[in-house]
Amino acid sequence: MTTSNASNGSKNLTQRIVIAMIAGIITGALLQNLMPDGSDFVIPLYLFDFSLRGFLVDGVFEAVGQIFVASLRMLVVPLVFVSLVCGVCSLKDTAKLGRIGGKAVGLYLLTTVIAVSMAIAIALLTSPGAGVNMVADTTFTSREAPSLAQVFIDMFPSNPFAAFAEGKMLQVIVFALLFGIAMALAGKAGERLTVIFQDLNEVIMRLVTILMNLAPYGVFCLLAGLFTDISLATFGNLIKYFVVVIGVLLIHGLLVYPVLLKLFTGLSPKIFLHKIRNTAIFGFSVSSSSATIPVNLETTTKKMGVNNSIASFTIPLGATINMDGTAILQGVATVFIAQVFNIDLSLTDFIMVILTATLASIGTAGVPGVGLIMLAMVLNQVGLPVEGIGLILGVDRLVDMTRTAVNVTGDAMVSIVVGQSEGQFDQSTYDDLKAGSDIEEIDFHHLKD
Ligand code: ASP
């Protein structure tokens, strides 16, 4: 397989993905204005009427976008399993595993508490719900919060194949950890298997790179399709709520993470923000931390220099239990709903919100829209009407995209901190702005040298 260097004058992959994102958003917005739904541009043909909007939005954009998301999801379970088994095998010491897990979970919880506390504070200062008069859309149905005991029980798969098939990430992680430990303890047989797993890991990572190369098309179609529906003009009463949530999300992603990274590691925040762009755009486009695992794993290991033994564990774990962006949504939405319904919340209520928002994120996988289900748990906890969620449904698509970008950025940041503290981090890779770009460009016409 030949590779062409990113510095050969043509645009590198990140630039192409950024351009695709912007072009997708502009195309969607233009289509929405030039060909609004209903008032279609229909071209009468001999046998049937040809609808240009239908062809583009429901045809090309929908198909390419969905195929792109499905292809990313396709890689998640095999990649997490194989790379985590490799990671555990290379650790050699199970005590280390406990320490890494402890640090990762501790940092994930810490960043979530910071996120939700900041969200509540800013929402209280800006009062997004004051004076808003709205009727809730009651079509939203809530779900019971699982007990903490149930969350732990659910981490252990009774059937690993069912866990694989259903994409239950915590169960896949637990099975991979146990399998990796057993392999490390299995002497010669384990060593033989390790070689096979390492090769498999290489091949699957290659598949990730191939998909990354096709990402500009996928990202363009996904965003062009989505932005034909999203219009800021229809936000009406919700505009203040929307601006506050997005504002807090941006502060957390662009300010809090870089500051925490600097404090914990002394590394350059600028390089971090530069290198995380691809991953954040993926998260934004597909609204799913889970589907972004392959890209995030590639970014943290190949571009940021975190060893696979750490990243293969912390990234999938973070995609499942760390959702700072979602916690921010919950903080702002709780204050907003309380204000709209004129209900006063006490300090204890706010502490409950912080605790529930943090714990709720542990048991729920990072997939589109799940933040609202978690929000229902938070509202129940403090006695706010769950129908309140109906109020914010209308703008949640864009909020979901943005909070997912924040969620995946947090996973990468924590992985670097844990990696560096464990001596499993290569600073020269981190500092090299071109790291990883040599393997990123694939020439599909020449599969072999
Ligand atoms: N879509 C988010 C994620 O995958 C979860 C959410 O709905 O907040 O991270």
Q: Mind listing the pLDDT tens digit of every residue in the chain (449 residues)?
A: 444 444 444 578 888 888 999 999 999 888 888 877 666 566 666 666 667 778 888 889 999 999 999 998 899 999 999 989 998 888 777 778 889 999 999 999 999 999 999 999 999 999 888 877 665 555 555 556 667 777 788 889 999 999 999 888 889 999 999 999 999 888 899 999 999 999 999 999 888 888 888 889 999 999 998 888 877 766 777 889 999 999 999 999 999 999 999 999 999 999 999 999 989 999 999 999 999 999 999 999 999 999 999 999 999 999 988 999 999 999 999 999 999 988 889 999 999 899 888 887 776 677 888 888 888 888 988 888 888 888 888 888 899 999 999 999 999 999 999 999 999 999 999 999 888 877 666 666 666 66
Rounded Cα distance, 238 and 234, in Å: 9
- Tell whether ligand 1 has an atom less than 6 A from the beta carbon of residue 370: yes
| pLDDT value at residue 107 | 96
91 touches 97 (CB < 8 A): yes
Scored b (16 or more CB within 10 A) or e, 414-431 reads: bbbbbbbbbebbbeeebe
Domain spans of the chain? 3-439
Instruction: Determine the length of the chain.
Output: 449
Fold classification of 3-439 (topology level): Proton glutamate symport protein (1.10.3860)
Rounded Cα distance, 209 and 433, in Å: 18
- Of 108, 289, 377, 402, the one to substitute when testing ligand 1's pocket (max ligand atoms within 8 A of C-beta) is 289
- Of 69, 287, 332, 396, the one to substitute when testing ligand 1's pocket (max ligand atoms within 8 A of C-beta) is 287
Rounded Cα distance, 73 and 68, in Å: 9
Evaluated on CA atoms 258, 261, 267, 272, the torsion sign reads negative
CA of 280 to the centre of ligand 1 (A): 13
Ligand 1: atom nearest CA of 291 is: 4
441 beta partners: none
- For residue 94, CA distances in Å to 107, 138, 184, 415 come to 20, 50, 10, 19
| pLDDT value at residue 5 | 44
Going by CA atoms, what residue is nearest to atom 3 of ligand 1?
A: 366
For residue 220, which of 37, 62, 75 has the smallest C-alpha distance?
Answer: 62
Rounded Cα distance, 170 and 47, in Å: 53
Give 380's contacts (C-beta < 8 A, 6+ positions apart): 142, 145, 386
CA of 359 to the centre of ligand 1 (A): 15
Collapsing DSSP to helix, strand or coil, 43 comes out as strand
Rounded Cα distance, 70 and 78, in Å: 14
Rounded Cα distance, 42 and 301, in Å: 49
CA of 438 to the centre of ligand 1 (A): 31
Look at the block and give the residue holding tokens 């393997």. 439
- For residue 408, CA distances in Å to 165, 257, 281 come to 23, 11, 10
**H helix count then E strand count, the chain:** 20, 2
Rg (CA), the chain: 23
DSSP 139: T
Look at the block and give the residue holding tokens 């590394």. 267
Collapsing DSSP to helix, strand or coil, 306 comes out as strand
Give 142's contacts (C-beta < 8 A, 6+ positions apart): 373, 376, 377, 379, 380, 386, 389
325 touches 369 (CB < 8 A): no
The CB-side HSE value for 430 (13 A sphere, CA atoms) comes to 25
Going by CA atoms, what residue is nearest to atom 6 of ligand 1?
A: 371
Ligand 1: atom nearest CA of 369 is: 7
274 touches 433 (CB < 8 A): yes
| pLDDT value at residue 94 | 74
- Tell whether ligand 1 has an atom less than 6 A from the beta carbon of residue 289: yes
- Tell whether ligand 1 has an atom less than 6 A from the beta carbon of residue 318: no
Collapsing DSSP to helix, strand or coil, 427 comes out as helix
CA 31 to chain centre: 27
Q: Helix H segments across 287-323?
A: 289-298, 308-321
442 beta partners: 3
Q: For residue 309, which amino acid is it?
A: S
Rounded Cα distance, 9 and 443, in Å: 15
Packing angle of the helix pair 308-321, 169-185 (nearest 10 deg): 150
